[in-house]
Amino acid sequence: MNQLIHSKLLICSCRNSLSQIYKNLVDLSLYIENTSIIMEMRKLTKEEERVIIHKGTECPFTGKYDDFFQKGTYVCKRCGQPLYSSEAKFDAGCGWPAFDKEFPGAVKRVPDPDGMRTEIECAKCGAHLGHVFTGERFTKENTRHCVNSISIEFIKEGEGNE
């Protein structure tokens, strides 16, 4: 009888150990995935960090992509994730680059705590891009992504990984 109890305890102990080992492996895999994403991220200047990480805003009409209309792709400054095609860019006259459509799954929408605006972030790394507005009727999409130039980089058509 005593040996049967020891056997049951050993089985329970092994199950718990296997469960803990599995949990540790899952945690390790998430850590490795997050670490590789962080290592892929580009080093930011103080001003880029203020906008991209601390959710700041660059001054209107100062960004290099406000009045810029070459063909290509706009990517996240922090991780390089493709965000917008130049075909989605339009002149809203607001002082920041404006896009009416992102690449599917590239941009995450997060309501501001006050409920007044909706923040847009890179879906891959969480970098602050700007804000999205709807109902303004600038384009048929009826959406305006108001993006900080400092949060994005431009890859000319035919260059880079488009």
Kindly state whether residue 161 falls inside one of the protein's structural domains.
Answer: no
Q: pLDDT at position 39, please?
A: 47
Q: What is the pLDDT of residues 151-160, one digit of tens each?
A: 999 999 988 6
Closest residue by Cα to residue 95 from 54, 51, 144: 144
Q: pLDDT at position 160, please?
A: 67
Query: Which positions are catalytic?
Result: 146
Name which residue leads in pLDDT, 22 or 103: 103
Hey, is 31 helix, strand or coil? helix
Name which residue leads in pLDDT, 151 or 3: 151
Please say if the pLDDT value at position 55 is more than 80.
yes
Kindly state whether residue 50 falls inside one of the protein's structural domains.
Answer: yes
Is residue 60 within a helix (H) or strand (E), and if so which, with residue range? Answer: none
Contact 149, 58 (CB under 8 A): yes
Note whether 71 and 31 are same-domain residues.
Answer: no
Is residue 118 within a helix (H) or strand (E), and if so which, with residue range? Answer: strand 118-122
Q: What residue numbers bound the domain in which 86 lies? A: 46-156
Note whether 53 and 128 are same-domain residues.
Answer: yes
Tally of structural domains, the chain: 2
pTM over 0.85: no
Note whether 97 and 120 are same-domain residues.
Answer: yes
**What are the two backbone dihedrals, phi and then psi, of residue 131, each rounded to the nearest 5 degrees?**
-140, 155
Note whether 10 and 79 are same-domain residues.
Answer: no
Q: Which residues pair with 147 in a beta bridge?
A: 130
